[in-house]
């Protein structure tokens, strides 16, 4: 049959930063793309795809999207985890892309059609001190964005998550080993409520303010922070405690009405089943690339919808324009989708993955090209460019390793 999968390619490349991209081609020449980038573990997922998944896809019907998902998930016996789920997610997205192109429909049309005219997004403002931070906040507001994530330096620390010396933040550092940062929770907790209050004072009431705590607090510290910032009226606090301890959020919840978001490191619905069904969070942050693709995210978001939890996927620069496209199509077609993070990309990334999705009036639009509406400029995906790059690690002042 002319529509079976004929070619499986895994591209490891570095257009400004490392990406792992899956390209499936059918016998009649339809191409589907998927993103399998796991920041700092790129070659592991590339091998998983090349050595173990690719050979199983050749000659398979790309229209059996759910069956392929179940085959790759249940058929492997060793389930879950970021590497396997990113690989399955890449295959799933590529199959949806093929279906869109075969039927001539943009992906959102196949996912049930638009439920909204435009998709809310938020941008990042970062500054070591308040004046630098407010400058970036103002720049985003002038560009038409109403929701802004604010991250800032902490007195006494030299490097802080989410901040860089230049205007563009890239979490992964090039080199053979992770950068080590020093972290001090007490200094952070003394400093951050005042910063968030000052930003609120500056922008007035109509701007959504978000802040990422990056898994660094104990439950009672997180509860204190949540209470302290209640007068600020935050859109959310993100990742206040280490993500694998689902019960931790119950304690936080009992103490504060500040909305809670978590989940960028989750890989399956089973990682957030309790959080969602017990209504311990307000926003679930799973990303298409890291939680099994469009098919699995739809299940997570459906469970969330039943329990009044909203979808708000992770969207840093290490989520490639391919996964971001998938997320935008899903967002425009999913009722309980609240907001899509959009950190932005260096220019070279936009050129390496020409895409129909775009920003219009401070919101995201999927565009109307068939499938994901993303292609690849092969000249900008050179395997020789790959360089090891790792996310940092953090230690407390006494040298103990802590969550980064």
Query: Which value, in Å, is the radius of gyration of the alpha carbons in the chain?
Result: 21
Residues in the chain: 404
Q: Which of ligand EZ4, Co ion, none is residue 391 near (CB under 5 to 8 Å by kind)?
A: ligand EZ4
Number of shown-chain residues binding ligand EZ4 (CB under 6 A): 9
Catalytic residue among 19, 161, 188, 283: 161
Among 106, 171, 263, 313, binds ligand EZ4 (CB under 6 A): 171
- Give CA–CA dist 60/56, Å, rounded: 8
Please state the closest distance from residue 137 (CB atom) to ligand EZ4, in A.
17
- Catalytic, 161? Answer yes
User: Which residue stretch of 58-66, 120-128, 205-213, 328-336 sits at the interface with Co ion (rule: CB under 5 A)?
Assistant: 205-213
314 binds ligand EZ4 (CB under 6 A): yes
212 binds Co ion (CB under 5 A): yes
Through-space distance between the first and last CA atoms of the chain, rounded to whole angstroms: 49
Residue number, 200 or 216, with CB nearest to ligand EZ4: 216
Q: Are strands 363-365 and 31-35 parallel, antiparallel or unpaired?
A: unpaired
39 binds ligand EZ4 (CB under 6 A): yes
3 state DSSP class of 22: strand
Among 82, 316, 371, 373, binds ligand EZ4 (CB under 6 A): 316
Among 35, 264, 271, 282, binds ligand EZ4 (CB under 6 A): 264
User: Which residue stretch of 113-121, 314-322, 351-359, 379-387 sits at the interface with ligand EZ4 (rule: CB under 6 A)?
Assistant: 314-322
Tell me if 369 sits within 8 A of 342, measured CB to CB.
Answer: no
The contacts of residue 245 (CB under 8 Å, 6+ apart) are none
- Give CA–CA dist 223/347, Å, rounded: 40
Catalytic residue among 124, 214, 215, 314: 214
Tell me if 107 sits within 8 A of 329, measured CB to CB.
Answer: yes
318 binds Co ion (CB under 5 A): no
- Give CA–CA dist 108/370, Å, rounded: 10
**Could you say which DSSP state residue 51 is in?**
I
Interface residues for ligand EZ4 in 71-110 (CB under 6 A)?
none
Catalytic residue numbers, as ranges: 161, 214
């Amino acid at each position: 049959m002319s529509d079976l999968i004929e070619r499986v390619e895994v591209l490891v490349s570095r257009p400004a930063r490392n990406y792992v991209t899956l390209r499936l081609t059918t016998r009649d020449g339809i191409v589907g793309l998927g993103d399998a980038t796991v920041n700092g573990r790129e070659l592991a997922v590339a091998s998983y795809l090349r050595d173990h998944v690719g050979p199983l896809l050749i000659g398979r019907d790309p229209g059996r999207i759910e069956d392929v998902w179940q085959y790759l998930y249940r058929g492997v016996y060793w389930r879950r985890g970021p590497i396997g789920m990113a690989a399955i997610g890449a295959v799933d997205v590529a199959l949806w892309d093929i279906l869109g192109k075969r039927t001539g429909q943009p992906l959102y049309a196949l996912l049930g059609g638009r439920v909204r005219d435009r998709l809310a997004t938020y941008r990042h403002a970062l500054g070591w001190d308040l004046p630098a931070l407010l400058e970036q906040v103002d720049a985003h507001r002038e560009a038409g964005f109403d929701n802004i994530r604010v991250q800032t330096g902490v007195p006494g620390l030299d490097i802080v998550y989410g901040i860089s010396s230049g205007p563009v933040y890239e979490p992964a550092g090039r080199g053979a080993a992770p950068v080590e940062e020093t972290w001090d929770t007490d200094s952070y907790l003394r400093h951050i409520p005042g910063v968030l209050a000052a930003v609120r004072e500056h922008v007035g009431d109509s701007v959504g303010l978000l802040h990422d705590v990056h898994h660094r607090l104990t439950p009672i510290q997180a509860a204190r922070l949540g209470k302290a910032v209640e007068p600020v009226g935050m859109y959310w606090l993100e990742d206040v405690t280490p993500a694998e301890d689902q019960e931790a959020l119950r304690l936080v919840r009992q103490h504060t009405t500040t909305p809670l978001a978590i989940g960028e490191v989750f890989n399956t619905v089973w990682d957030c089943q309790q959080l969602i069904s017990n209504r311990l969070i307000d926003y679930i942050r799973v990303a298409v690339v890291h939680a099994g693709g469009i098919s699995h995210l739809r299940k997570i978001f459906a469970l969330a919808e039943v329990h009044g939890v909203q979808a708000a996927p992770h969207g840093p620069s290490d989520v490639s324009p391919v996964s971001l496209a998938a997320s935008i199509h899903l967002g425009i077609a999913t009722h309980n989708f609240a907001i899509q993070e959009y950190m932005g990309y260096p220019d070279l990334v936009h050129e390496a993955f020409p895409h129909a999705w775009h920003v219009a009036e401070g919101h995201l639009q999927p565009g109307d090209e068939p499938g994901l509406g993303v292609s690849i400029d092969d000249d900008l995906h050179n395997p020789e460019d790959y360089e090891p790059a790792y996310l940092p690690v953090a230690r407390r002042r006494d040298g103990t390793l802590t969550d980064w």
